[in-house]
Amino acid sequence: MYRSYIPLYLLFIYATSAELEHESPIKSIVQKTLRATARACMSKINATEADLEYLIEDPPFPEKSACIVTCLLERIGIVKNQKYSKVGFITVVAPLVMHSEEKMKHMKTVAENCDKEIPVNESKCQLGNDITTCIFKYAPELHFNKT
């Protein structure tokens, strides 16, 4: 069924990684919410479990998989009006890194860099690929499979 790679794209990994000091009920809630969101996104684009399998790899993803990513990013506010939202990215990661001024500064830099690099006016699904690629480029620690 849904493996740990679904949380990879939401709350970008801090919620499911060693960043949490201990196993937390919050982690369980986040994972359940993400799974429900993933199911809704899959239904919306008529994707299958097989389309999810690509998400354990590095981007770029095939179109339907990229569409799932874009949908998930829309649901959490990192995509707004079919564009990358640096404010949305910071809003998502801030509660997870606010205990560290250094990490927060790093995430703001990631947000700024991606805001400059992610093309505007591209296909909606390609946006999921571009955002994921950019974030992993500047914040590889957010890549669940790379930790």
Q: What is the pLDDT of residues 46-66, one digit of tens each?
A: 998 888 888 878 889 999 999
In a domain, 1, yes or no: no
Look up the CATH number of the domain holding residue 136: 1.10.238.20
Residues 11-47, buried b or exposed e (16+ Cβ, 10 A)? bbbbbbbebeeeeeeebeebbebbeebbeebbeebeb
More confident residue, 28 or 6: 28
For residue 74, the model assigns a pLDDT of 92
Position 2 in a domain: no
Q: Answer yes or no: is pLDDT of 146 > 70.
A: no
Domain range enclosing 14 = 7-146
Residue 31 lies in a domain: yes
* pTM for the model: 0.77
Q: How many domains does the chain have?
A: 1
